[in-house]
Chains A and B, each alone.
Chain A
Amino acid sequence: MTPAGTILVVDDDEAVREALHSLLRSVGFAVELYGSVPDFLTRGGMPDTPCCLVLDIRLPGMSGLDFQNELARQKIAPPIIFITGHGDIPMSVRAMKAGAIEFLTKPFRDQDLLDAIHAGLEVDRRRREENRDLADLEGRYAALSGREQEVMAQVVTGLMNKQIAVNLGIAEITVKVHRGQVMRKMNAQSVVDLARMADRLGIQPDPTQHPAPRTARV
């Protein structure tokens, strides 16, 4: 088993850091060790490869939980596994609610940590893929012309070409051309596919140009 990924360990205790280093290397992980959050931010930072944070709760400077919140605020959400010497239930609830993968109390079973790390790396890999897809999608959307984006916004709400033409004040044939361009440029297989893309991109139907009531269509 040679899992790809970097494990970032942040713990103020050297004994714990060294032990984790040895344990994680023995199963083939790349490991980076940090003594505190500021140490991590100045010396390391988030790598571009799939990674997993192993965070001590009690840290000098900034606690593990505060760091988790800070990362969430910056919309960076690496998987976090908390390890703590004296965790209580409210603390673990807070950590898990904020999206932690696992909350382990020292000393922990090595397999529990490794399982959590595998799960974390898997989550990170998936997240990175999704992010990559989203970035791709956003690139394609950005390639659309202004009119094409307008047409796409109308199409995904389920309007027919004729209605779109009326709404936008252009000819129906022009709408048809734009629509074809949108489908091609966005690499959409169907209108349903396009609608899902719009959903991921967060495109809202323009509320000022409200579509005809659905009942009229039925």
Chain B
Amino acid sequence: MTTVRQGDGILTSLARYAFSALCIGVALAFGLLLGLGFEVKLGPVLLLLGVVVVAWFSGPGPGLLAVVLSTLAVVYFWTPPIYSFAVMPEEVPVMLCFILCGLVGMGISLRRRQQERAAEESRAVLERRVVERTAQLRISEERWRNLFETTSVGIAISEPGGKILRANQALQAMLGYDETSLRLLSLTDLMARGSGDGGAEGREGGIELPLRRADGGLLWVSLSVSVIPPSDNSPPLASAVIIDISARRRAIEEWRKGQSEVARATRLTTMGVLAASIAHEVNQPLSGVVTNGQAAARWLSADPPDIAETRAALGRIVRDGNRAAEIIRSIRTVLGPAGDEPRPVSLNEVIRHLVPLVESELSAQSIRLHLDLAVQLPAISGDAVQLQQLVLNLVLNGIDAMRGPSDAERVLTVRTEACAAEVVVSVEDRGTGLPDVVPDRLFEPFFTTKSEGMGVGLAICRTVVESHGGRIWAEALHPRGARFAFALPAADGGGTLPRRKDSRR
């Protein structure tokens, strides 16, 4: 068609018109040759055939030319007067008939040809598309296979029951099985059930569990299974994505260890700060003992010996000795090694045990300690030593805030409350308040407002609170002072610990 051959130029067009003339010429020649021997006028028929052929092969333009040429040929050779282009009036209808036949023949031929071309073309397009799609599929297939085989993530395709159908190389390498042996197993066979390392842990985007390797070792993985719904030619399947998280677990383990190292170091630092205070605290009753002893000796060697005074001095010796012993006990609680297992802890007890350790510091700063402890306080689960550190840090922080002269009443309030399923401990001071920053920044490591501070105290507090699943916050009080508080989840059931009689005073 012309639209298809548009770019071919004038030459092609000329060739088509020439072809048209040639065809009609050939038809005319055959017509004349055949016409010589027969009475039947075959010439016009052959010419009509020529028109059809030209229209088929060369399109409408050359077709029209063929109609014109063949009409002229018929007029010249077959209508009387023969060998003249003159047309007798009675022959006009026959001529018009011939022209009409030529045009109709040409039209039918063109139409058929057009349909043929369209069919051909659509077939070609279809074929091309099939070839393209096939290539694309092959590429896609290859790509997916490569992804499946070369990814570092282990992938297994299994039946819904867990029987493994396919396992990629990463999974084989992870578990130390080849694919053939994996195909004999199901996913559940691989799970190291009842292993000493604990069971599966639910995590966002999959569960974490240990798998049994071919060599019997355990491999911690994150496993997420998704169901592939059944399609026309495939039953439902399950795909399991298995990620080796042993490195991550190791890192977390080390991070935890590091955290506890930091906590221990801070504990030592805190204890260092407290050491002077404690020394003073123990030394007071001890010097009381010594001086009372010396006094008793003098009362006895008086003449006459004063027995009543001696007895009173001895009584004070016993009392002061006991006091020293109790301080030592409290220190031992604080300094004791951190327990690995979380235990039920009464925060009230923790706070009461702290009092002897800060008493001298409080007294030196003329600060009154006000304990406002809830009567029925649920126990929380955790490490008593760390919690003691936590409260101690907050109390020392409060004392620091009130250091220096001030007109305000010097009171430090430590309060415990049970709120829903939480235990809230708050330490309130009447000190200088909070620095003008986002309160959360206070708990960042190395943030400090004290000239001699390292800025780890509150950061450690946050670490301890968060490791106990709680939260810590600070707020300024008006007109002055600040409140530092933390909330810890109550231990299971929120039951109270058996209450012990307060051993002090």
Interface residues of A (CB under 8 A from B): 12-13, 15-16, 18-20, 22-23, 25-27, 36, 58-61, 85-86, 106-110
Contacts and interface: CB of A to CB of B under 8 A. Distances in A.
A34 to B, nearest CB: 14
B364 A60 contact: yes
Contacts of B283: 85-86, 106-107
A15 B315 CA distance: 11
- What does DSSP make chain B's interface, helix, strand, loop or mixed? helix
A15 B298 contact: no
Contact residues of A: prevailing secondary structure: loop
Interface of B: 276, 279-280, 283-292, 294-296, 298-299, 302, 306, 309, 312-313, 316, 319-320, 323, 360, 363-366
Contacts of A110: 291, 294-295, 298
Contacts of B320: 15, 19
28 contacts: A13-B284, A15-B284, A18-B316, A19-B292, A19-B295, A22-B291, A22-B295, A22-B299, A22-B313, A23-B292, A23-B294, A27-B298, A36-B366, A59-B364, A60-B365, A60-B366, A85-B284, A86-B279, A86-B280, A86-B283, A106-B283, A106-B286, A106-B287, A107-B287, A107-B291, A108-B287, A110-B291, A110-B295
A109 B290 CA distance: 8
Nearest to B317: A19
Given A16-B288, A107-B287, A107-B290, A23 B366 contact: no
Contacts of A12: 363-364
Name the 6 nearest CB pairs between A and B, nearest first. Answer: A15-B288, A106-B287, A107-B290, A107-B287, A19-B291, A110-B294
Contact of B302 (A22, A26, A36, A109): A26
Given A12-B363, A15-B316, A61-B366, A22 B292 contact: yes
Contacts of A36: 366
A19 B290 CA distance: 8
A13 B309 CA distance: 20
Contacts of B288: 13, 15-16, 18-19
Max chain B Cβ within 10 angstroms of own Cβ: one of A25, A26, A36? A26
Given A19-B316, A60-B365, A86-B279, A106 B292 contact: no
Contact of A23 (B298, B306, B323): B298
B268 to A, nearest CB: 19
B309 A26 contact: yes
Contacts of A13: 284, 288
A20 B364 contact: no
A141 to B, nearest CB: 43
Nearest to B275: A86
Contact of B309 (A22, A58, A59): A22
A26 B364 contact: no
Contacts of B296: 22
Contacts of A26: 295, 298-299, 302, 306, 309
Among B283, B284, B319, B366, the most chain A Cβ lie within 10 Å of the Cβ of B284
A60 B323 contact: no
Given A108-B290, A110-B291, 10 more contacts: A13-B284, A16-B288, A18-B292, A19-B316, A22-B313, A26-B298, A58-B280, A58-B364, A86-B276, A106-B287
Nearest to B296: A22
A21 B286 CA distance: 16
Nearest to A38: B366
The interface centre, meaning the residue of B287, B312, B319, B323 with most chain A CB atoms within 10 A of its CB, is: B287
Contacts of B289: 19, 107
A135 B173 CA distance: 105
Contacts of B365: 60
Nearest to A106: B287
Contact of A60 (B276, B316, B363): B363
A39 B429 CA distance: 25
A22 B312 CA distance: 9
